[in-house]
Amino acid sequence: MTVDRISSVEPIQPGKKPEQTNRVRESRGADSINISSEAHSKAEALRVRELAMAAPDVRADRVSELKEKINDPAYIDEKIMNATADRLMNALFG
């Protein structure tokens, strides 16, 4: 069995000359970028997270302030005890 050519296809075609190339246009303005609002919000979240990670776990100034208040007999009254009890109940039982 023999296979005949259907069309005259040359196995090697002569090279084509490139058409006119587009030259790079020089920009006369300053370079600029646009940042999406999603990128802004993610950057802000990262900044806040880094600040939180850098903050100390214990605020010594606040602890000493509260120790002074607790040791003051005039500080602890019925209102403070009820507020503290309410917060404990909410924390434990939601």
Domain range summary for the chain, segments of one domain joined by +: 59-94
Residue with the two structure tokens 């503290």: 84
More confident residue, 58 or 19: 58
More confident residue, 30 or 37: 37
Report pTM. 0.34
Q: Hey, what are 24's tokens?
A: 């790079």
pLDDT of residue 29: 75
What is each CA distance from 76 to 45, 59, 67, 79, 87, in whole angstroms?
39, 22, 12, 8, 15
